Amino acid sequence: MSDPTVNRDHELTAEELAAIEEKYDEASSTREVSVPVARLLRAVALVFAIYHFITAGFGLPVDYWHMGLHLTGLFIMTYALFPLVRSRNALAMKRSILSPGNVPLYDYLLMSLGIVSALYIGAAWRGIDFLGITEQTFRQGNPNTYDIFFGSVLIILVLDLARRTLGWVLPLIICVFISYALFGQYYPGILNHPGTNWRQFINNIYFPAEGIFGVTLWVVSTIVFHFVLFGVIAQRTGLGKLFIDNATILAGRYTGGPAKVSVVSSAFFGTISGSSVANTVSTGALTIPNMKRLGYPGHFAGGVEAASSAGGQITPPIMGAAAFIMAEFLELPYTTIVIAAIFPALLHYVGVFAVVHLMARKLDLKGLSAELLPRLGAVWREGWANLIPLVALLVVLFTGYTPYMSAFCGISMALIVGAARISAPVTLLFPIAFIAFVVWKFLGGGFDLTMTVILCSGAVLGVFNPQERIRMPELSEAVETGVKYALAVGAASAAVGIVVGVINTTGIGFRIGFMVTSGAAAMAQSLYELIPFGAFDIFTQADLQLFLSLLLIATACILMGAGIPTTALYIMLVSVAQPALAQLGVPPIASHMFVLYYGVVSEITPPVCTSAYAAAAIANSNPFRTGISAFTLGLGKIVAPMAFVYAPVLLFVSSTGFDALEFSYSAISCIAGVLALSAAVVGYFLAPMSVIERLLCAVAGLIFIAPSWQADLVSLAILAPVALLQLLAQRRTNASQVTG
């Protein structure tokens, strides 16, 4: 197949898009295997998915068995599909007696060791008499030889899983944490601690409760995988196309139409996809060529799509894996996290939308012509049923049921809408089985009458979907794709559990947090003494300390995010940020959201910005320049975390309480700041802006982000001359057009 980055005049094919996603998403780049091995892996993927699907609806086994079985699937799929060293040669098909099915014998060996190590905890929980293994209760704190062997193997192999699926950066950082746990006595100053021996380290990392079998793997194996599977199946059944068509109808006719379609469709698509690269490829295949045809530069078109798609991990209701882990860390319902994320996500898309609009005005780009727009009636006559799975998922989720029960209902509805039709009687087994499940739950007191009626009605309506139904081979392929998407996040969650165990064992989070706050306090004192504020103090020394602490943590997030998945980055940095920001009075949910958002920002920050590189491949533009465009377009996401730290009311559910008037004022102030920054980025508002005007807009926009009447008055004073100059320039332009 030809290089997917080569310029083309035709639309990209599905194969070319898959090649782009594989090239820029390490988790999608897998080796070719023989047909028998491919069939076996598909069967494993289906069993893996069915197991998680059934346990989501009918109940989970004990956590150590459940997580062990999840790890088993990860070991089988990862060692079969990801080579020891990633290269074109390693991914290609080769026939050798040492590599049955193109999987080397050593990978089969590592796979077997991983499976045994993952399942040993469950098998030995009650003891194994003939091996002399006592119950786990008696081994806690004093692991035996088997525990140490299998624990050591699992730690090494979990790091290898992360390396194969995500690259070297994450495993190397985890190795630093391991060395700190083992050799803490050699670290200087506040970082010094007595250290721990390998036996005690295995006890903390291998046994359930913390470490590998801790909260991160539990959340991924019980919740995240189900939502990833739901997103893939829902997209395959037509929900993604429904989103894009409606976005085109909503925004396509206006100034810079295709670019606005990219923003709106990526926002819609983000509700069911937690993958930035998958979002970029899915929506960018249509929007990027349309933007280029309209006149947008290639790097800007790619940047628009990358910045919009990166919002998928912060767009409710799914938000990727990190949000589910946040709910566990904060011990809050997931719906609370979803509600808190509404305004920050809106602020991100307002920023991208504003830049797109102003750039279109600057370049004098028009919208799509009427004949290029989908017809609203036709779109909904054809695709109305695709909304049923998402509605079912949200209704169950926001009615107080567990996230995995809502995912079970959403997946069930997606299967019904995609594969069951009244015209094919055999396929009616899908809705009949689901209705029987719902009635069984109702009779057992699990569902109330309203929920029962809603779900049964959705199942009945789904079989009247006018679209062509999906056949079983296509459905199994979609399920297999969903399982492959989940491999990387599963490997990351298991590996980063080691970090959680080290942090809980050594207290390094509080140590580094203290270093951050004390360092920021020293810098704040020095700066405050140097800057004369006079009688009109815009901020205090404490405000300056908070700002510097936020700046240090944000910088760490962006720098460490180069090559680390958002979920893993969030888990590592929140352990540092939470103690540091708690000392400065920041509510827990605001500090957690702060770290999550800057982790996502790293995905569009050069030099490592995979979403932008994937968009550049579609746009045939310079990858680095596309990354710069994506970064500037994502300013809303960059400033939003600062805003909700200073004004927690923007999160709706902060412990500081909710006040409608305060929320309205803070929201308007933040949106004004984002609009001012957008104008500064583009260099255009009512007319082209000079360098001085752009600098004034940027400064005013940053001051707006900290909502207070003093700061807003200063911002308005800075913007006043810019507004006057823009009005005068617009009048001159209009007058010249009239006379011309």
Residue 8 domain flag: no
pLDDT of residue 7: 43
Under 8 Å between Cβ of 357 and 205: no
Locate 429 and state its tokens. Answer: 């087994």
Can you say whether the dihedral through the CA atoms of 45, 455, 220, 59 is positive or negative? negative
What's the pLDDT tens digit per position in 476-514?
998 998 898 888 888 988 999 999 899 888 888 888 888
| Full DSSP string of 408-458 | HHHHHHHHHHHH-BTTBGGGGHHHHHHHHHHHHHHHTTSS-HHHHHHHHHH
Q: Which of 21-30, 213-222, 309-318 has the lowest mean pLDDT?
A: 21-30
The whole domain housing 189 covers 18-217
Q: Map 267-308 to HEC letters.
A: HHHHCCCCCHHHHHHHHHHHHHHHHHHHCCCHHHHHHHHHHH
Closest CA to 342 of 321, 310, 311, 308: 311
Separation in Å, CA 433 to CA 403, 410, 420, 436, 460:
21, 14, 12, 5, 12
What's the pLDDT tens digit per position in 591-621?
888 888 887 777 777 766 777 888 888 888 8
Helix (H, G, I), strand (E, B) or coil at 473: helix
Residue 440 domain flag: no
- In sequence order, the 6+-apart residues with CB closer than 8 A to the CB of 671 are 347, 350
Closest CA to 255 of 354, 376, 348: 354
Higher pLDDT, 168 or 430: 430
Whether the predicted pLDDT of 5 surpasses 50: no
61: alpha, beta or left? (left if phi > 0; alpha if psi -120 to 50): beta
Query: How far apart (Å, rounded) are the C-alpha atoms in residues 700 and 253?
Result: 32
Backbone φ, ψ for residue 421 (5° rounding): -140, 145
Peptide bond into 403 cis (omega under 30): no
Whether the predicted pLDDT of 740 surpasses 90: no
Residue 119 domain flag: yes
Locate 498 and state its tokens. Answer: 């080691």
Higher pLDDT, 604 or 396: 396
How high is the mean pLDDT of the chain? 85
* Mean of pLDDT values over 336-349: 86
* Mean of pLDDT values over 440-455: 94
Q: Which of 88-97, 166-175, 685-694 has the lowest mean pLDDT?
A: 88-97
Under 8 Å between Cβ of 246 and 275: no
Which of the 8 DSSP states describes residue 99?
B
Q: Which of 422-426, 475-479, 550-554, 712-716 has the lowest mean pLDDT?
A: 550-554
pLDDT of residue 595: 85
* Mean of pLDDT values over 374-395: 92
What's the pLDDT tens digit per position in 407-421?
999 999 999 999 999
Residue 46 domain flag: yes
State the total domains in the chain. 2
pLDDT of residue 21: 62
Last-in-domain residue among 198, 217, 236: 217
Whether the predicted pLDDT of 56 surpasses 80: yes
Side-chain-side CA neighbours of 577 within 13 Å: the count stands at: 31
Cβ–Cβ contacts within 10 Å for residue 709, how many? 9
* Mean of pLDDT values over 631-655: 78
pLDDT of residue 324: 82
Under 8 Å between Cβ of 390 and 239: yes
Whether the predicted pLDDT of 72 surpasses 90: yes
Whether the predicted pLDDT of 177 surpasses 90: yes
Confidence of residue 8 (pLDDT cuts 50, 70, 90): very low
Residue 450 domain flag: no
Task: Tell me the pTM.
Answer: 0.86
Q: Select the highest-mean-pLDDT range: 144-158, 591-605, 691-705.
A: 144-158
Last-in-domain residue among 186, 217, 248: 217
Last-in-domain residue among 217, 249, 281: 217
Backbone φ, ψ for residue 198 (5° rounding): -65, -35
Whether the predicted pLDDT of 526 surpasses 70: yes
Instruction: Please give the torsion angle defined by the CA atoms of residues 337, 248, 466 and 415, in that order, rounded to the nearest 10 degrees.
Output: -30
Residue 403 domain flag: no
Q: Which of 47-51, 82-86, 111-115, 121-125 has the lowest mean pLDDT?
A: 82-86
Locate 372 and state its tokens. Answer: 């290029």
* Owner of token pair 């801790």: 214
Question: Which residues pair with residue 128 across a beta bridge?
Answer: 133
How far apart, in Å, do the first and last CA atoms of the chain sit? 53
* Owner of token pair 């500064």: 680
Confidence of residue 422 (pLDDT cuts 50, 70, 90): very high
Task: Give the chain's length.
Answer: 740
Whether the predicted pLDDT of 107 surpasses 80: yes
pLDDT of residue 22: 62
Whether the predicted pLDDT of 2 surpasses 60: no
* Mean of pLDDT values over 328-336: 86
* Owner of token pair 């009109």: 536
Burial code of 524-540, b = ≥16 C-beta within 10 A, e = fewer? beeebeeeeeeeeeebe
pLDDT of residue 163: 92
Helix residue ranges per DSSP H, 238-386? 239-251, 257-270, 276-294, 298-310, 320-330, 334-340, 342-363, 376-383
Question: Which residues pair with residue 96 across a beta bridge?
Answer: 99
Confidence of residue 11 (pLDDT cuts 50, 70, 90): low
Under 8 Å between Cβ of 177 and 495: no
Residue type at position 610: T
Confidence of residue 178 (pLDDT cuts 50, 70, 90): very high
Residue 483 domain flag: no
* Mean of pLDDT values over 60-73: 95
Q: Select the highest-mean-pLDDT range: 176-185, 339-348, 486-495.
A: 176-185
pLDDT of residue 4: 41
Under 8 Å between Cβ of 25 and 610: yes
Helix residue ranges per DSSP H, 507-565? 508-530, 541-560
Q: Which of 375-389, 425-439, 522-536, 637-651 has the lowest mean pLDDT?
A: 522-536
Query: How far apart (Å, rounded) are the C-alpha atoms in residues 124 and 126?
Result: 6
Query: How far apart (Å, rounded) are the C-alpha atoms in residues 513 and 549?
Result: 10
Radius of gyration for the alpha carbons in the chain, expressed in angstroms and rounded: 27
What's the pLDDT tens digit per position in 214-241?
988 998 899 888 888 888 888 888 887 8
Residue 514 domain flag: no
Query: How far apart (Å, rounded) are the C-alpha atoms in residues 283 and 243?
Result: 9
Locate 425 and state its tokens. Answer: 């009687």
Which of the 8 DSSP states describes residue 312?
G
pLDDT of residue 363: 82
Looking at the chain, the number of H-run helices and the number of E-run strands are 34, 0
- In sequence order, the 6+-apart residues with CB closer than 8 A to the CB of 217 are 67, 70, 71, 490, 493, 494, 497
Query: How far apart (Å, rounded) are the C-alpha atoms in residues 480 and 241?
Result: 21
* Mean of pLDDT values over 654-680: 84
* Mean of pLDDT values over 40-49: 96
What's the pLDDT tens digit per position in 248-280?
888 888 887 778 887 887 777 766 665 677 778
Side-chain-side CA neighbours of 395 within 13 Å: the count stands at: 19
| Full DSSP string of 632-676 | HHTHHHHHHHHHHHH-GGGGSS-TT---HHHHHHHHHHHHHHHHH
Which of the 8 DSSP states describes residue 185?
G
Whether the predicted pLDDT of 536 surpasses 50: no
Confidence of residue 721 (pLDDT cuts 50, 70, 90): very high
What's the pLDDT tens digit per position in 190-213?
888 898 999 999 999 999 878 999
pLDDT of residue 182: 94
- In sequence order, the 6+-apart residues with CB closer than 8 A to the CB of 77 are 41, 44, 45, 48, 483, 484, 487
